[in-house]
Amino acid sequence: MEYDELLSLMQTRRTIRALKTDPIPDEAVEKILEAARWAPTGFNMQPNEFIVVKDEALRKEIKRVVDDYKNNDFYPMEATREEWQGHPWTMATHGTHDLPLAPVFIVFCGDTRRRVGLPMAARYSRQKGDSIFESSLSNAFIFAWLAAHSLGLASCPISAVKYPKLQGLVKHILNLPDYIWVYDILMIAESEMDPGGKLTRPLAEMTHQDRAKDDEFMDEETLRKQIKKLRAGNVARHGEAGQ
C-alpha cells in the first residue's frame, strides 16, 4: 500500500453516529477483527479479547443501559462545560440522542490476568501497568476502526463503558468474568450519512524540533479559543483550525 492511500484512509475515517440497522456481513466483522489482532501491545502481552454482539436482545439491553447512563449522567456532565468552551451539549438544546441499534457491537476487552506478562516494576505500579494495558487495547481499537472504514462501514465508539457503573452492567449482560476489563465498544454499521471532512490543528503547530523554545507551545488564551473552534468544527467541518 502506498503512503497516500494509507493517509487518505486515515483522513477520511470519522465517527459516524447516524447508523443503519441493516445487518452487515460476518466476513466484514472477521476482517475488522483480523486487523485488530495485529495491533502492537506493550511487552507483547496481547491482552485483547473481542466480543462480537449480534444478538438483538443483547444489543437492545446494552443500548438501554447506555442510553440510561447518558441521559442521567453524561448529558448532565456535558452541561457543566464552562462558557468559554462554547456549545454545551444539553438535553434541553440537543434532545436525548439515544444510541442507534447498530447490527454489530464489537466489545473490545482486555484480560487483566495477562498483565502477569509485564516485568515486575511495571506490573506492581498500578499507574504504569494501567497505562500500558489501556494503550495496548486502544491500538487494537483504532486498527479495527480503520479496517471498518476501509470496508466502507461506519463506526461509532461507546466509551461510556469505562465508567464503573456501566462497566458492571455491560459485563453482567454479557456474562463476562471479573478479570475481563471492558475497554470500549465499537458499533459497526452501514452509514446513514456523509460525515464530510474534519477540522484539524495544523501540522506545523503540533510539530516541534529538538529543544523547545520558551514560548514554543500555544498560550492558554489562544488554546482556549482553538478548543472552542474545534468543538464548533464538529458542526462546520473541514480545514485547519488555525488560531
Ligand X SMILES: Cc1cc2nc3c(=O)[nH]c(=O)nc-3n(C[C@H](O)[C@H](O)[C@H](O)COP(=O)(O)O)c2cc1C
- Positions touching ligand X (CB under 6 A) are 14-15, 17, 156-160, 198, 234
Half-sphere exposure of 5 (CA within 13 A, CB side): 3
Distance in Å, CB of 82 to ligand X, minimum: 19
Distance in Å, CB of 71 to ligand X, minimum: 14
CB-based burial label for 138 (10 Å; 0-12, 13-18, 19+): middle
* Closer residue to ligand X in complex, CB, 72/159: 159
* Closer residue to ligand X in complex, CB, 88/157: 157
Distance in Å, CB of 199 to ligand X, minimum: 9
Residue 114 C-alpha from the chain's centroid: 22
First to last CA, the chain: 35
The CA-based dihedral angle spanning residues 87, 89, 91, 97, taken in that order and rounded to the nearest 10 degrees: 130
* Closer residue to ligand X in complex, CB, 113/238: 238
* Closer residue to ligand X in complex, CB, 17/31: 17
Distance in Å, CB of 13 to ligand X, minimum: 7
> Angle CA(230)–CA(233)–CA(239) in degrees, nearest 5?
95
Is beta strand 154-157 parallel, antiparallel or unpaired with respect to 104-111?
unpaired
Distance in Å, CB of 161 to ligand X, minimum: 8
* Closer residue to ligand X in complex, CB, 25/202: 202
Measuring CA to CA, how many Å separate 159 from each of 37, 167, 176, 192? 20, 10, 17, 21
* Closer residue to ligand X in complex, CB, 25/242: 242
Distance in Å, CB of 14 to ligand X, minimum: 4
User: Which of 135, 175, 150, 117 lies closest to 34, judged by CA?
Assistant: 150
